Structure 1
């Protein structure tokens, strides 16, 4: 078997290079989604760090994945909790399935708007396919868009996962409680849990299916709060997998779920309407 040549990943934008440990989000800093790096941006156009195919771009425009021909898969995520912006401040320049070249613009964003309305503007470049890499820039440094940042050592191409239609067990439909569906953070938690089982596991939304052990595949389902999904599994631990993963979905995959307004505002004892302050749930 011929060994794949090392692959250089370019800086997707200009800014200050930071280690993932400095990202104020345990799923990112804990490398649950994948290892990589972070940039505090000074430019406003996100560019492809490698040549490949757009394997997923979120409708909200805050995240995009590029898969190289040798299987290396990179997730680019602009800001923290930017899914809550519902697409405001982002302009998608490419479509899913489109082939792109290294350095090609993928997403333009209004840095001022995102910085003022999201938790952070920190932008992540994560190697979600898991290949080892070597940093080409040491420590905290100012980098320019298109500058080589890391060298990845591709391994053998991963085998395609085929669902065993005849032997697969299916869960009952589950209504997603997450305010923004299965975006990067809950999708990563779900995929990591699915990897703990030997069975072939899929997540279904209407006529679409995704390998439940792939973060990018789950994100490609473009789920929203209230969507009905099903989990299927084929293998010796299929029943246990479905039971555990359905419970995880109902629990929000680690996200804090909105509490019913009535439960928050209803007084323990009867009170006049003048003494009760009614409200609506803010960001979860």
Structure 2
């Protein structure tokens, strides 16, 4: 797993800026191939709910793994998750809305010619279904947050609590997978061969993200004094890991795909809470 860091070191490019650049570059490549997956059997809401959160949230999962492997303080993991989610659901939804607007259901005249109320057209029905999917995704945020709050009533999240949170998350993902399959059967879609090629490229990008985050967290952990130091690891790592989410939000906002903007940011929040907290709780109490 040290192939990429060794290669960078061999060229004498070992520097925080190099790994931040690698982090951004792999995120952009992942973004490019994710857009292609829209044409290979994934509709917008599914792309945002199923695929993008794993890609943009992969850095958070890596952070949890590193902290658990080195018996890091639970406070930093919790801070990382909170910084990530609060930024996603405020700044990264607000910026595209200010710049381009986020319209999920385009406005239509309520009354047709002659005063008769028109039923929803085919396109309007699709927008309404997208809106319902978004509302369900947002409701899941409240459900997961409430579950964490209830399980943490005793002041900590234990291994049993972590298992419960992970189970809730994967139940939600199973629901989304079957929804996508149902959608594809209804529209007679299938995953073409390029879908799996793009999925492979995304996995390669995930390794690039892992290598960059692993090095940056290790470097930051030995810094002492000043704001950029180990004392602010949770805050700094949270802001760093928001970068892929920012790219996704701004790009899809520019493309006028409000459905993907919403579901990608909210879905990434699902990765942090409950999945990241649940995974770390398996190793030590939070």
TM-score by length of 1: 0.20
TM-score normalised over the length of structure 2: 0.20
Judging by fraction of residues, say which structure has more strand. Answer: 1
Structure (1 or 2) with the greater helix fraction? 2
